[in-house]
Chain A
Amino acid sequence: MPEDPPVRPSLGPGTRIVDRPQLFGAAEVEALELDDDAVIGAQELVRDARIDEVLDRLDAELVALKDVKTRIREIAALLVVDRLRRSVGLVSESPTLHMCFTGNPGAGKTTVAMRMGEILYRLGYVRKGHLVSVTRDDLVGQYVGHTAPKTTEVLKRAMGGVLFIDEAYHIYRVDNERDYGQEAVEMLLQVMENQRQDLVVIMAGYKKEMDRFFSDVPGLSSRIAHHIDFPDYSIEELMQIASMMVDRQRYRLGPDAAKAFEEYLAKRMTQPRFANGRSVRNALDRVRMRQAIRIYEGAGRGRQLTKKDLVTLEAEDILKSRVFDGGAYPTP
């Protein structure tokens, strides 16, 4: 009869079984014995992480939003310093980075959230840096027992990256007691607390509704470390946004067109349902349509076209807007 098989086969000498992750590697334990005056190579770390590059791009591509940029800069600095501290053996808990963006329509909440995944990935806070964007429909089920698997599915998918919940206040409706949103919120709270190192949750919504949502769900507001408010843009900032959009779509504003667009914005801002950046984008889309019909009709009459015609948005394209005859949007 052969020997009984060993119950825990060993790999022989030299095999090391790690039962739990070690707190520090050997090098870091050594570093613990550094003096208080020891010099730490911070420059290399800052350069290696290429954080400045990320922040500069953020500055260049997003107009205004000073609070947001300051906050991101602070978070970036904290994460770098944390890494430096770890390199000399000082342990600190990783910070909570769940965020809530509030502000009026078109203030840039979604745009910034989309960037957040990449930024946090570059900073080494999340492992993958992908962004999973969901709304109420993706989290809350239709019948009893449908919500938990749905929410779990979304949370699992977002792990290692950022979970972005747009219009988050829709999740929970306090006036309907048969609503399953409560269950989704509870699971969300649990994962936000227990699996902070696995995912970052960003909620976005309009200020008033989000405030109501937070007062309906106790404990949610305090689990979100960063409440960032997105202010409305001034007219100069809107013009900057417009010129960036025009550049990105490879158009040019003709002579007087910039001035006409500024007049357009000044009028449009006083009218109801003005949605900041989104209104600028929509207005530009309509300007492009008017330019297209002008070119089309001109070509039909046998006019010679040049490349310049195709890229130039003229003042007349803008001035044809209904905003200038006081139509379309009735002032209250």
Chain B
Amino acid sequence: MVHKGLRITQGTFSYLPDFTDEETKAQIQYGIDNGWAPSVEFTDDPHPRNVYWEMWGMPMFDLKDAAGAMYEVKRCREAFPNSYIRVSLYNSKLTKQTTALQFLVNRPAYEPGFRLDRQESTDRIVRYTLHAYATDRPQGERYQSPSAPEGRDA
């Protein structure tokens, strides 16, 4: 079997085809209209347990229109075209105070996926863990190739 890479699903909407800018903007506007604050974050570690991503600027608490958030999304894409970028919409209402909606707005051109590691322990116990191929390289150097390597069409 030839490994073909793995399209990461994370947050809302990630089983859908990637959004256009218009669609992204409409989703952010929906959040703003609900009183949620958008923020932009990015990372190059695709592990599902990696929850704290790098912040791209401060959360935008006083926006009225999604154009301001889109401006930051675009700037983040320019700076990190080969990273995962997500928009979080934070509900600051008392008793909620949590992320209300979060979705990816950018992903690397080629996502190599994960390998399964087995660790043998005492008493025939086997522990399993996921290892992202991307993290074999140091931070900032992952996902550098603009497209999939030869023979591995994404």
Pair A9/B71 contact, Cβ less than 8 Å: no
Interface residues in A85-133 (C-beta closer than 8 Å to B): 127-128, 130
Q: List, in ascending order, chain B residues with CB within 8 A of A8's CB.
A: 7, 17
Pair B20/A156 contact, Cβ less than 8 Å: no
Stretch from B60-68, B93-101, B137-145 forming part of the interface with A: B60-68
Interface residues in A1-60 (C-beta closer than 8 Å to B): 1, 4-11, 15, 17-21
Q: Which among A5, A19, A155, A199 has the greatest number of chain B C-beta atoms within 10 A?
A: A5
Interface residues in B6-48 (C-beta closer than 8 Å to A): 6-7, 15-17, 20, 22-23
Question: Taking the complex as formed, is A227 at the interface, i.e. its CB lies under 8 A from any CB of chain B?
Answer: no
Q: List, in ascending order, chain B residues with CB within 8 A of A5's CB.
A: 6-7
- The CA of A128 and the CA of B65, in the complex, are separated in Å by 7
Over the window 52-76 of chain B, the binary record of Cβ atoms lying under 8 Å from chain A Cβ atoms (1 yes, 0 no) is 0000010010111111110110000
Pair A156/B60 contact, Cβ less than 8 Å: yes
Pair A159/B22 contact, Cβ less than 8 Å: no
Question: Taking the complex as formed, is A160 at the interface, i.e. its CB lies under 8 A from any CB of chain B?
Answer: yes
Q: List, in ascending order, chain A residues with CB within 8 A of B64's CB.
A: 128, 130, 157, 159-161
Pair A127/B4 contact, Cβ less than 8 Å: no
Q: How many residues of A contact B (CB 8 A)?
A: 29
- The CA of A9 and the CA of B14, in the complex, are separated in Å by 9
Over the window 156-175 of chain A, the binary record of Cβ atoms lying under 8 Å from chain B Cβ atoms (1 yes, 0 no) is 11011100000000000000
Least Cβ–Cβ distance between B5 and chain A, in angstroms: 7
Closest to B153 in A: A7
Over the window 196-211 of chain A, the binary record of Cβ atoms lying under 8 Å from chain B Cβ atoms (1 yes, 0 no) is 0011000000000000
The 5 closest A-B pairs by CB, nearest first: A160-B65, A156-B68, A159-B67, A198-B67, A159-B68
Q: List 11 A-B contacts (CB under 8 A).
A: A4-B1, A7-B7, A9-B16, A11-B16, A18-B22, A155-B68, A157-B68, A159-B63, A198-B65, A198-B67, A199-B67
Besides A156-B60, A159-B65, A159-B71, 6 new A-B residue pairs in contact (Cβ under 8 A), listed by A number: A7-B4, A15-B17, A17-B17, A18-B23, A157-B68, A159-B63
Residues of chain A whose beta carbon lies under 8 Å from any beta carbon of chain B: 1, 4-11, 15, 17-21, 127-128, 130, 149, 152, 155-157, 159-161, 195, 198-199
